Structure 1
């Protein structure tokens, strides 16, 4: 049996684990990074990048179909599904290759392959029998798709997740997408625009991450017209029939059924912690199986164990995983002299069209905290630049604190929300007031003028409170 003694052991070589390794290595060379999967990070291999490649192709197809409205005639439009997927895989593999090259460039003694589990506090075992005694441990095992086991058993290879669809050699004819969160929305719209027959199924009426009731209503109305969508149906019944899947559900007072080539399970992800045997390490867990931890340091309780990234179920986004990995790795390296790390203003973007975003505090967060805030909004229906581009759909609502007029957050549904959300997140993190933001330059004609309109409405609402 091989036995290794290290100061820091990091479980998982995804975004959080890689960042934790670099941060911990600033303190010690006695460390190991353990990976059981194919490597390359979820973002590069099966998340952010391949999904945006698919969305980019879908956006081009949609633009070509809409060109006639501008007097531009596009004849003979065709989507070559095999070519679309070939580019997705080619560019995906390029991004993954960059990540793998980075890890392969680290000392071989620091890299271990295998599935790790705790066999005691500070003690790990790999599936090849190797044992590791670690002064500190960073858990960065990521997350995996949430899929009912009964569906897997019933559908076999006709059930896919977002970790598998990018390996399709060509686009299928029809896909049922179950889940109206970020993953389900992005992929359903992209496939729909690429000519795949799609139906989006939602257990509840909720669509996407936006929490403001006005925005939820607007997004729901958009989804119902943007693609075939069945919401508020609970769990549909699924069955394998030959080389396809039949989905049955009850909607609008009637029983319905539809046949698809695949069912895409996109109803969220859960932390990948089940195989770690956290009980052997003496770590308590909550009802999700996640150990309670301090987001400012990454520390689990008062133990020498730290957690970061999607494994923590806290802000499951790449830039947040990178920050959390840096914080956890730094504190694991310097333990027991912990140092709180910078957690940036929350920023979340959904790459549908129109896009969705939350910058700073959400409406739900402000309401739950009992914050005293006012609201300003702009409807993009008549916003100049948006109308010029025929992208004049959506709503932006900004939130300001009564008393000092400080911008607290915003929720967006509209064109180029990814860019507007960044401006707003930066303003929130700086602590800008609404008045200070209105003192900034706004060019004409640009979408940012819509932001100015919303801020002006917010300023009036705040002044009316005096």
Structure 2
């Protein structure tokens, strides 16, 4: 995209365009790679520019290493908590081996992506930090590139509160650095009870680390249904030390007088009752969210407007297109839904849209909102949230419920703590959304997401077989509860009870 200069002092005017391309993709994570692969099917000159690793956030510092850590933690937990079954054992945890496996398996997944990137023609990729100048040209390394269309897929970075990095020094950890630990620490504070904070706090706890979790509000995983939130806190607090509703006043680190090479971290905070307290330990893991990497890219020089949180205005959530501009912002960069499957779909759609034949371009439909926190029990949200439903005065809804505290298979397995709410629409007999903390919630969530996406009715759902005995029978109980409150007659030959 080429724009007329608006400043005589912009020295980029002195440079000559070194390359002209039909489409340039900036960023090579999940969204960027999908956009590049799709665009290059028709645009042979499609160019991808990337600063940093050429794999994905998920593989390097997100989904995969965290799940590898959780897998080790679950093995340790099951070993240490099997006495109720008459199986007595104690896990011997080798912290170095735990962390070595996390990195080794991460490399295995990363190598697959690297092989794909290595197969791309060298002329179609540039390693370097891109900046869009006031003429709408892309400056990277020694090149000045003119692109007819630009796809921005620059991802996100961890957010660290002001001065914390300086105050905590080497005792500071984030999700970007925690998987590089050579060994398991003795103690750790985790700040933030979102998905990342909960998963890592529980995993390190199960691996023998003394973990304390802090969160400013009395809420976990961003849950918006108060009953589900309270149940999640109840289930998780049985093994996690949590200071919810606490206010952090100050953080820092102190060097030991006996060992100048060691440092201890501290957190001064007010607890939920307003009393002053201090935590001390080895590390502080900051899990206070991520922010999109867009503020220094220069997208405003393309006519893109950002709001106060660096989110692009006039965003088409299906394709990532910005208004009438030939600019697409996809994946975590647009701060819409920072989830891998959303980034993948947005990148695919944007890569399809930049092709000449837009009429026949394959645009992925908007995904049903769906999130999973892989703690134990798992926390899942699908479809509309309860506040969203309550804000719509035209929606007449009911809430079907099931507790997993005495659900048959859950009790058999010793994982009987949880609660599921399904929000049903009385007018349409359809599922509006659901929220849950439950064993096997990832599978319950997928079934409900499929039902919402395919417009299945409550009757359609209850016509499906529910095998006995399974945790998924709890889903059937909640669906029956929805149906009963809707007062829709339905005869079923299935008379099995979930706690049988």
Question: Which residue pairs with 1:418 in the alignment?
Answer: 442
| Aligned partners of 1:122 and 1:135 also within 8 Å | no
Structure 2 residue 333 is the aligned partner of structure 1 residue 308: no
| Aligned partners of 2:191 and 2:285 also within 8 Å | yes
Q: Which piece of structure 1 moves more, 201-210 or 321-330?
A: 201-210
Question: Which residue pairs with 1:400 in the alignment?
Answer: 424
Structure 2 residue 45 is the aligned partner of structure 1 residue 30: yes
Question: Which residue pairs with 1:18 in the alignment?
Answer: 33
Aligned partners of 2:264 and 2:355: how far apart in 1? Answer: 51
Question: Which residue pairs with 1:290 in the alignment?
Answer: 311
Which of 360, 363, 373 is equivalent to 2:386?
363
How big is the shift at 1:447?
Answer: 0.8
- Which deviations, in whole Å up to 9, do the C-alpha atoms of 1:339-392 show, x marking residues without a partner? 553122122111000001112222232223333211101000110000000000
Aligned partners of 2:442 and 2:40: how far apart in 1? Answer: 34
Aligned partners of 1:411 and 1:114: how far apart in 2? Answer: 42
| Aligned partners of 2:401 and 2:422 also within 8 Å | yes
Question: Which residue pairs with 2:461 in the alignment?
Answer: 437
How big is the shift at 1:337?
Answer: 5.5
Quickly say closer, same or farther: Cα 1:338–1:299, change in 2 above 3 A.
Answer: farther
Q: What is the TM-score normalised by the length of structure 1?
A: 0.96
Quickly say closer, same or farther: Cα 1:129–1:290, change in 2 above 3 A.
Answer: farther
Runs of 4+ in 1 over 3 A off after TM superposition: 334-341
How big is the shift at 1:158?
Answer: 1.5
Gaps of 5+ in 1: none
What secondary structure sits across from 1:225 in the alignment?
coil
Question: Which residue pairs with 1:349 in the alignment?
Answer: 372
Aligned partners of 1:296 and 1:343: how far apart in 2? Answer: 6
Aligned partners of 1:253 and 1:107: how far apart in 2? Answer: 60
Q: What is the TM-score normalised by the length of structure 2?
A: 0.90
Which of 229, 245, 264 is equivalent to 1:232?
245
Which of 73, 79, 97 is equivalent to 2:93?
79
What secondary structure sits across from 2:338 in the alignment?
coil
How big is the shift at 1:31?
Answer: 1.1
Pairs within 5 Å for 1:18-167: 18-75=33-90, 77-120=91-134, 122-126=136-140, 128-167=141-180
Aligned partners of 2:208 and 2:420: how far apart in 1? Answer: 30
Question: Which residue pairs with 1:378 in the alignment?
Answer: 402
Aligned partners of 2:182 and 2:210: how far apart in 1? Answer: 17
Q: What's the RMSD between the two structures over aligned residues?
A: 1.6
Aligned partners of 1:253 and 1:273: how far apart in 2? Answer: 38
Q: Which piece of structure 1 moves more, 276-285 or 47-56?
A: 276-285
How big is the shift at 1:224?
Answer: 3.2
Question: Which residue pairs with 2:222 in the alignment?
Answer: 209
How big is the shift at 1:279?
Answer: 2.1
Structure 2 residue 287 is the aligned partner of structure 1 residue 266: yes
- Which deviations, in whole Å up to 9, do the C-alpha atoms of 1:240-275 show, x marking residues without a partner? 111121111111342211211111110111111122
Aligned partners of 2:330 and 2:300: how far apart in 1? Answer: 18
Question: Which residue pairs with 2:339 in the alignment?
Answer: 317
Aligned partners of 1:122 and 1:109: how far apart in 2? Answer: 21
| Aligned partners of 1:160 and 1:263 also within 8 Å | yes
Aligned partners of 1:255 and 1:296: how far apart in 2? Answer: 48
Pairs within 5 Å for 1:177-256: 177-242=190-255, 243-251=263-271, 252-256=273-277
| Aligned partners of 2:248 and 2:270 also within 8 Å | no
- Which deviations, in whole Å up to 9, do the C-alpha atoms of 1:135-161 show, x marking residues without a partner? 000010001111013001111221111
Length, aligned pairs only: 463
Question: Which residue pairs with 2:6 in the alignment?
Answer: none
